[in-house]
Amino acid sequence: MITIDGNSLSIEDVISICKNHEKVQLSPAAEPKIIESRKYVEKVLKENRSVYGITTGFGELANKSISPDKAEKLQENIIRSHSTGVGTPFDKEVVRGVILLRANALAKGHSGVRIIVIETLLELLNKDIYPFIPSQGSVGASGDLAPLSHLALALIAEGECFVDGKRVCADIVLKNAGITPLKLKAKEGLGLINGTQVMASLGCLAVNQAKTLLKNAQIAGAMSLEALKGTAKAFDARVHELRPHPGQLNVAENIRNLIDSSEIIASHKDCSKVQDAYTLRCMPQVYGAVADTIDYVYRVLSIEINSATDNPLIFPKQDEAISGGNFHGEPLAFAMDYLGIALSEIANISERTIDRLVNPHKSGLPAFLSRDNGLNSGFMVAQYTAASLVSENKVLAHPSSVDSIPTSAGQEDHVSMGTTASRHARDITQNVEQVVAIELLASAQGMDFWNMEPGKGTKIAHDFIREHISFMDEDRILYKDMEIAKRLVTSGEIVKAVEKYINIKS
């Protein structure tokens, strides 16, 4: 059971709840602040003060006064009118993250909602209810208005939820689960939809994948170094101490540990080759920069998931509601663009390494890693697939945050596009996983042509791959091998096998 209080949620908690369906509860310590902020909202209504979103309209319509007796209708209307999402619905992991993060933001006690709103969100999580939330329609400015409205629709039994892959009316799903639909009070509709929780959920999942992916990439790179009979010199600690970026130091050490005691590397210690191609010898510099980028994104998300991002924010002790801009997604937009760009660079190096492995003019290995090439095409077209994914990433990695388009009659005249950045970063992550999986297949095949002992770490990885995918002696249906390899990458199984014996620094 994970307890939320608006302040102490970790990305590891988010992943556990999204992927492992960990149960969640509201901390009793958070309740006094939630109750206090709610009392302020009720005070505003009683005194008929002019406070945005409580006794006024929304966006450009903030100049329209709403009488207290219509406060509840106002909140229902905003949910209905803002439910304008389109496109493929988010998968269950993303939706669970959205529900959790919205509940955690409300638990900070600056949103003016009742405790029952938070508890109902947690009921959805704990009873594994999966609301229908389309993935497109957010500009990431006044938060994720459209997608969060679809979540709120489910809470009031007017939306839809998935049951066995089919969209079912939320009122039926809630009734079957024993969940009482919410009857929204003043401020609660706005409180549910003003926030960055969609982009943050996508971000947490992507950055968690990225950490495992980078370790897989280093394992693949070390295996390729051996398959291509590269040198260990470029990973000498003395080189990297002269440019001591944390990620670079760690990656160089990781590669040294993975290829330690390699007979393949040692076999050509005194050969005439002076240096390796950049894809091999610059792994610490490139993958190290990726590691530092992941750390930056991780810090941004760790702050964001424990932030109050709706509007207005309630400060009951000061008897004040302040309209600010915490809902603006720019911090996440930058971070997720940066993550997508960095991960694309993994695939750029990985694909060029695959090309080097299959090219007999560069590798010293049989053409396309096939003994009887000509009759067999080997890994020829697997490299095409990697190239295709790399090119797709170049489009996806174009920064979403450099774009803005005015909304709400110009009142919301600058937007972040952070949700688009987050969606693209997650798509890029999945593409890169497949490219690295292909490199692992190709490098394992290449290593098998050298009748020598690999390094301590690369041997573990090679043998683990061979437990699931055999050497390709002649052409066979290759996409099945590629699917298995991607599963081993995504699940982190190869990394876990290696890390039983060798620590791979993050």
Catalytic residues: 52
CA distance 391 to 435: 11
All residues at 6 or more sequence positions from 159 whose CB lies less than 8 Å from its CB, including other chains: 83, 131, 132, 150, 151, 152, 153, 170
All residues at 6 or more sequence positions from 428 whose CB lies less than 8 Å from its CB, including other chains: 340, 343, 344, 347, 393, 396, 397
Summary count for the chain: helices (H), strands (E): 21, 9
Query: In 3D, which of 75, 233, 42 has the Cα closest to residue 149?
Result: 75
CA distance 312 to 112: 9
Query: In 3D, which of 202, 93, 207, 305 has the Cα closest to residue 506?
Result: 207
CA distance 399 to 68: 43
Contact 129, 177 (CB under 8 A): yes
Query: In 3D, which of 192, 211, 190, 144 has the Cα closest to residue 423?
Result: 144
Termini Cα distance of the chain:
27
CA distance 151 to 309: 17
CA distance 99 to 118: 10
Q: Provide the β-strand partners of residue 163.
A: 166
CA distance 388 to 491: 23
DSSP state of 373: B
Q: Which residue has 């993250």 as its token pair?
A: 97
Backbone angles phi, psi at 412, to 5 degrees: -100, 80
DSSP state of 365: S
The type of residue at 116 is: I
- For residue 414, CA distances in Å to 1, 140, 191, 196, 424 come to 40, 10, 21, 15, 20
Cα torsion through 3, 313, 183, 63, rounded to 10: -160
Backbone angles phi, psi at 499, to 5 degrees: -75, -5
| Cα dihedral across residues 359, 363, 369, 371: positive or negative | positive
Q: Which two tokens stand for residue 465?
A: 């791959």
All residues at 6 or more sequence positions from 198 whose CB lies less than 8 Å from its CB, including other chains: 90, 94, 98, 133, 138, 144, 147, 148, 419, 422
Query: In 3D, which of 382, 292, 378 has the Cα closest to residue 335?
Result: 292
Calculate Rg over the CA atoms of the chain: 26
